[in-house]
């Protein structure tokens, strides 16, 4: 009987990243238990936005820790998407790809936030923009936390088909659109009084960067 060589993909480095994500989650829950409880109830309650948003601290330690989890979750999802399109066999190359994705995603978000903060400072809108950034960051961290759950199954239980990944990507985009719509609805009176600046901001900082990013990926 002839032996058949079996190729087993190493998941050691992915396991370490997932373990790091669990450690981050445990740290957040143990350090800020009440804030975390309000955060995970975002779907059913607006308490987290109403009470915590009054602090005007988009870069509160809680948000920073959740943003680190956001980076890991989104980067793993994009890595898996890349792997389905163009599989990379060697572990070293896989790690390099993940690091590039994580670095690119982090840079994109931080540069975008930095530009928004600079604009806010120029037009003396620091408190308004800080509150907006707080809301947006909170919703996106929450979405990334939800994304983390199916990723565990995708890496350890079964390889998702492309149709499932496309569906999940579409759902993520929809959730982001809904979260932005919710934020805009909550600040409707402020937007109505400054509709020209709002449209300018929406086109420049909420639509254009993603179009540019899409072009870069497709090219």
Tens-place pLDDT, residues 57-74: 667 889 899 999 999 999
Q: Is 150 within a domain?
A: yes
User: Which residue pairs, CB below 8 angstroms and at least 24 apart, start in 173-177?
Assistant: 175/143, 175/146, 176/139, 176/140, 176/143
Q: Is 182 within a domain?
A: no
Q: Is 86 within a domain?
A: yes
Residue-wise pLDDT tens digits, 180-196:
888 888 878 877 777 77
Whole domain around residue 42: which residue ranges? 12-160
Q: Is 110 within a domain?
A: yes
Split at pLDDT 50, 70, 90, the class of 86 is confident
User: Which carries the bigger pLDDT value, residue 162 or residue 191?
Assistant: 162
Please give the tally of structural domains in the chain.
Answer: 1
Maximum Cα interatomic distance, the chain, rounded to a whole number of Å: 79
The C-alpha atoms of residue 75 and residue 84 are separated, in whole angstroms, by: 14
């Amino acid at each position: 009987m002839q032996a058949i060589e079996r190729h087993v993909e190493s998941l050691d480095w992915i396991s370490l990243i997932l373990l790091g994500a669990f450690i981050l989650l445990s740290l957040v829950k143990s350090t800020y238990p009440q804030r975390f409880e309000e955060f995970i109830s975002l779907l059913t309650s607006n308490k987290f936005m109403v009470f915590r948003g009054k602090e005007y601290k988009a870069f509160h330690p809680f948000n920073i820790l959740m943003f680190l989890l956001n980076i890991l979750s989104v980067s793993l999802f994009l890595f898996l998407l890349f792997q389905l399109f163009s599989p990379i066999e060697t572990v070293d190359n896989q790690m390099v790809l993940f690091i590039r994705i994580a670095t690119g995603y982090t840079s994109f978000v931080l540069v975008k936030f930095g530009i928004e903060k600079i604009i806010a400072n120029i037009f003396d809108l620091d408190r308004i923009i800080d509150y907006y950034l707080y809301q947006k960051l909170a919703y996106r961290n929450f979405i990334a936390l939800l994304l983390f759950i199916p990723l565990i199954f995708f890496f350890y239980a079964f390889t998702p088909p492309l149709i499932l990944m496309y569906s999940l990507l579409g759902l993520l985009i929809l959730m982001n659109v809904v979260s932005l719509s919710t934020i805009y609805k909550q600040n409707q009176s402020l937007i109505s009084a400054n509709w020209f600046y709002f449209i300018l901001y929406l086109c420049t900082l909420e639509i254009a960067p993603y179009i540019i990013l899409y072009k870069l990926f497709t090219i």
